[in-house]
Chain A
Amino acid sequence: MNLRRFTSTISVLGLLAASNAAIAQTVDVQHYWTSSSESKAMNAVADAFKSKGGKWIDSPSADFDAALAAATSRIAGGEPPSAILMTPNSALRDLAGSGQLRDFDDLAAEGGWQKVMSPLVWSKLNVNDHLVALPVGIHAQNWVWYSKPLLEELKIEQPKTFDELFAAADKIKASGRIGIATGGEPWQEVGILFSSILALGGPDYWNELIVKRSPEALKSPILPQAFDIFRKVSTYADPASPGRSWNDTTNLVVTGKAGFQFMGDWARGEFLAAGKVAGKDFGCFLTPSDKPSYSILIDVFAFPVNKDEDRIKGQTLLAQSVMDPAVEEQIAEVKGSVPSRTDVDTSKLDVCAQLGAKTLATPGAAVQAAYDALAGDLNGQVTDLATQFWTDKSMTTEAAVESFSKILQSE
Chain B
Amino acid sequence: MKTWLHRQTFKPDITVAVFFGVVAIFFYGSILWTFYMSLTRSTLMPNYAVVGLDQYVKLFTNYRWLVSCLNMVIFGVLFIVGTLGFGTILAIFADRRIQAESLFRTIFLYPLAVSLIVTGLSWRWVLDPVNGLQGLMRNAGWENFTFDWLTNPDRAIYTLVIASIWHSSGLVMVIVLAGLRGVDNDLWKAIRMEGIPLWRAYLQVIFPGMRPVIASCVVLLMSEVIRGYDLVIAMTKGGPGIATEMPAKFAVDFYFARVNLGLASAASIVMLMLSLLMLLPYFYSEFRKRT
Whether the pair A243, B237 counts as a contact (CB closer than 8 A) is: yes
On whether A98 and B239 interact (CB within 8 A), knowing A65-B257, A392-B153, the answer reads no
Chain A residue numbers with a CB within 8 Å of B151 are 184, 239-242
Contact A243 B239 (CB under 8 A): yes
Determine whether A39 belongs to the interface, using a CB cutoff of 8 Å to chain B.
no
Chain B residues with Cβ under 8 A from A392's Cβ?
153, 241
Chain B residues within 8 Å of chain A by Cβ, number: 30
From A100, A240, A377, A391, contact of B131 by CB (8 A): A240
Interface size class on chain A is: 20 to 34
Query: A127 → chain B, closest Cβ, in Å?
Result: 13
B255 proximity list for chain A (CB < 8 A): 69
Closest to B128 in A: A240
Q: A242-B150, A376-B260, A387-B242 are in contact. List 18 more A-B contacts (CB 8 A).
A: A69-B256, A94-B259, A95-B45, A184-B151, A185-B237, A185-B239, A186-B239, A241-B151, A242-B236, A242-B239, A243-B240, A377-B258, A377-B263, A380-B253, A388-B241, A390-B241, A391-B153, A391-B241
* Contact of A240 (CB < 8 Å), options: B45, B130, B236, B259: B130
A247 within 8 A of B: no
Smallest distance from the beta carbon of B67 to chain A beta carbons, Å? 9
Residue B105 interfacial (CB < 8 Å): no
Check A68 for interface membership: any CB of B closer than 8 A.
yes
| Interface residues as binary, A61-74 with B (CB distance below 8 Å gives 1, 0 otherwise) | 00011101100100
A91-B44, A94-B43, A242-B240 given; A384·B257 CB < 8 A? no
Q: Mark B238-265, 1 if CB is under 8 A from A, else 0.
A: 0111110000000001111111100100
Q: Which A residues are in CB contact (< 8 Å) with B240?
A: 184, 242-243, 391
**Also in contact, A240 and B153, with CB within 8 A (given A68-B256, A387-B242):** no
A-B contact pairs, 23 of them (CB 8 A): A66-B256, A69-B255, A69-B257, A72-B45, A72-B259, A90-B43, A90-B44, A90-B259, A91-B44, A95-B45, A184-B239, A240-B129, A240-B130, A242-B150, A242-B236, A243-B237, A243-B239, A376-B260, A380-B253, A380-B258, A380-B260, A388-B241, A391-B240
Report if A91-B239 is in contact (Cβ < 8 Å); known contacts: A240-B151, A384-B64, A392-B153.
no
* Cβ of A355 to closest chain B Cβ, rounded Å: 31
Residues from chain B with Cβ under 8 Å of A380 in the complex: 253-254, 257-258, 260
B residues 30-49 touching A (CB-CB < 8 Å)? 43-45
- Contact flag A239-B239 (CB < 8 Å), given A65-B256, A380-B258: no
In the complex, the chain A residue whose C-beta lies closest to that of B245 is: A384
B155 → chain A closest CB, angstroms? 12
Interface residues of A in 70-95 (CB under 8 A from B): 72, 76, 90-91, 94-95
Compute how far the CA of A98 lies from the CA of B263 in the bound complex, rounded to whole angstroms: 19
**B129: A residues at CB distance < 8 A:** 239-240
Binary per-residue interface labels of chain A (382-398) against chain B in the complex, 1 for a CB within 8 Å, 0 otherwise: 00100110111000000
CB of B63 closer than 8 Å to a CB of A: yes
CA–CA, A98 and B43, complex, Å: 11
8 Å CB interface, B139-187 against A: 148, 150-151, 153
Is the pair B242, A388 in contact by a Cβ cutoff of 8 Å?
Answer: yes
Q: Are A384 and B63 in contact (CB under 8 A)?
A: yes
Residues of B close to A387: CB separation below 8 A: 239, 241-242
Identify which of B43, B130, B239 contacts A391 (C-beta below 8 A). Answer: B239
Are B243 and A391 neighbours in the complex by a CB distance under 8 Å?
Answer: yes
| Alpha-carbon distance between A207 and B128 when the two chains are bound, in angstroms | 41
Complex interface: chain A residues within 8 A of B237 (CB): 185, 243
Q: A69-B255, A377-B259 are in contact. Are A239 and B241 (CB under 8 A)?
A: no
Bound Cα distance from A377 to B63, whole angstroms: 14
Scoring A238, A243, A390 by chain B CB atoms within 10 A of each residue's CB, the highest score goes to A243
Which residues on the A side are within 8 Å of B259 (C-beta)? 68, 72, 90-91, 94, 377
B124: A residues at CB distance < 8 A: 243
For the complex of A and B, the 6 pairs showing the least CB-CB separation, nearest first, are A391-B241, A69-B256, A65-B257, A94-B44, A240-B130, A377-B258
What are the residues of chain A within 8 A of B239 when measuring CB–CB? 184-186, 242-243, 387, 391
- Chain B 101-136 interface mask (CB, 8 Å, partner A; 1/0): 000000000000000000000001000111100000
Nearest B residue to A388 via CB reads B241
B260 contacts A377, CB within 8 Å? yes
Closest CB of chain B to A371's CB: distance in Å? 11
Report A408 CB to chain B, min CB distance, Å: 16
A242 to B152, CA, bound (A): 9
A98 to B63, CA, bound (A): 31
Within the complex, what minimum Cβ distance (angstroms) separates B147 from chain A? 11
- Kindly supply a per-residue 1/0 record for chain B positions 248-285, scoring 1 wherever the CB is within 8 Å of any chain A CB and 0 otherwise: 00000111111110010000000000000000000000
Q: Per-residue 0/1 for B6-50: is the Cβ within 8 Å of any A Cβ (1 yes, 0 no)?
A: 000000000000000000000000000000000000011100000
Question: Which of A66, A185, A377 has the most CB atoms of chain B within a 10 A radius of its CB?
Answer: A377
CA distance A375 to B43 in the complex (A): 11
Closest chain-A Cβ to B151's Cβ sits at a distance in Å of 4
Q: In the complex, which residues of chain B have a beta carbon less than 8 angstroms from the beta carbon of A242?
A: 150-151, 236, 239-240
CB distance from B195 to the nearest CB of A (A): 56
In Å, the complex CA distance between A80 and B150 comes to: 40
Taken together as a complex, chains A and B put the C-alpha atoms of A76 and B254 apart, in Å, by 17
Residues of A within 8 A of B64 (CB): 384
B148 to chain A: closest residue by CB: A239
